[in-house]
Amino acid sequence: MSEIQDEFYEVVAKKHGFSRGLKGSRATHTSLKEYNSLVNNQLPKLRQEKVELMSVNEKLDQQINEKRGTLKTLEQKISMEVEEFKRVIKYSYHYMKEQMIKRWRILHLGADEFEFDYEEPEQKPCDNEKLERPSQALSPFRRQR
C-alpha cells in the first residue's frame, strides 16, 4: 500500500503542491457521521467563544486607548516641567553670576558702585529667549517661612 501512495504522490500530488503523508502513520480517517457530530456540537460553542473574545478584545482596545491618552498627558506635563526646570537653571546661572560679580566687586574693590572695565561677551539670544524668574513652585530662591 505504501508503494502505491508513493507512486501517487510522485505522479499527481507533487505536481499540484501537495505533500506526502507520513510513512507508517497509524492515523485514521474521520467518518462523515463523526465529522458532522463534531461540527454540530462544537460550532455553536466556538461561535459563542468568538463573540466573547471579540468583546474582551474591544474592551482591551478601549483600555489601551485610555492609557495612550494618559501617557500623552503625562508626556506633555513632563515636557512642561522640563522646560520650567531649564528656565530655573538658566535663571539660577544668571542670578548666581550677578551675585558673584557683586561680591567680587565688594571684596576686591570695597564698593558696590564703580566703573568696571570688564566687558561681557555678547551672547546671541535664542529665538524668543527671555530671562524670566521661574515659578515659585520650582524656584530655589523662595524663602523659608
Q: Which residues of 106-116 are buried (b: 16+ CB within 10 A; e: fewer)?
A: eeeeeeeeeee
Q: What are the residue ranges of helices labelled H in the chain?
A: 2-8, 32-109
- Whether the full predicted model's pTM is greater than 0.85, yes or no, is no
- Torsion of the alpha carbons at 135, 139, 141 and 144, rounded to the nearest 10: 100
Which letter does DSSP use for residue 15 in this model? G
If one compares 3 and 84, the residue with the highest pLDDT of the two is: 84
Please say whether the beta carbons of 116 and 105 come within 8 A.
yes
pLDDT in tens, 27-75: 788 888 888 888 888 889 999 999 999 999 999 999 999 999 999 999 9
> Does the pLDDT value for residue 120 go beyond 70?
no
